[in-house]
Amino acid sequence: MRQIFCIVCLSMILSACNSKEKIETYHATYDEEKQIAAQEILTDNGKIEEANIIIIDDKMLVAVQVKPWLRLKKQSIEKDITEKLEEAFPNLELIISTDFKIFWESSKLITEEDTQKIRDEVDNLKKLSKEET
């Protein structure tokens, strides 16, 4: 009985330690270089659990979910990501957020096919990200 308990506990620990980041992207400009560069910046950070990147026209929306034990440092992680992305993409308007609502809404946009609706929603998310609650 003790061995079974140890095996179950060990398997739960190992499954919880999966450190693979999940980064989804949407781009209407078909510029894969920007997409790959943004993914590398977020992957190299190591503090990100999930991210959505939407590149449309001259805007890049990056919605990030940080790892659970780093949630208290959301602002510093957001600032770090912002600095790195601004350095890599000086000609794009960047919208970066660690807010869950923006992440959730951007997840819906990734599956959307209507480019105009995505443009409108990115503008709405930009306004939402600037609001302070």
Summarised one tens digit per residue, pLDDT across range 12-68 is: 555 555 555 677 767 666 677 888 888 888 888 888 888 998 888 888 889 988 887
Total Cβ atoms within 10 A of residue 10: 10
Residue 104 has a pLDDT of 92
pLDDT(132) > 70: no
Dihedral angle, C-alpha 79, 84, 87, 90, nearest 10 °: -70
Residue 7 has a pLDDT of 65
Mean pLDDT value across residues 104-108: 90
The rounded percent of the chain whose pLDDT value lies above 70 is 80
Mean pLDDT value across residues 109-127: 87
Residue 14 has a pLDDT of 53
Mean pLDDT value across residues 73-100: 89
Max Cα distance, the chain (Å): 62
Model-level pTM?
0.76
- Would you say 64 and 51 are in contact if contact means Cβ atoms under 8 Å apart? yes
Residue 68 has a pLDDT of 78
Whole-angstrom distance, CA of residue 108 vs CA of residue 71: 23
Mean pLDDT score across all residues of the chain: 80
Residue that wins the pLDDT comparison between 17 and 99: 99
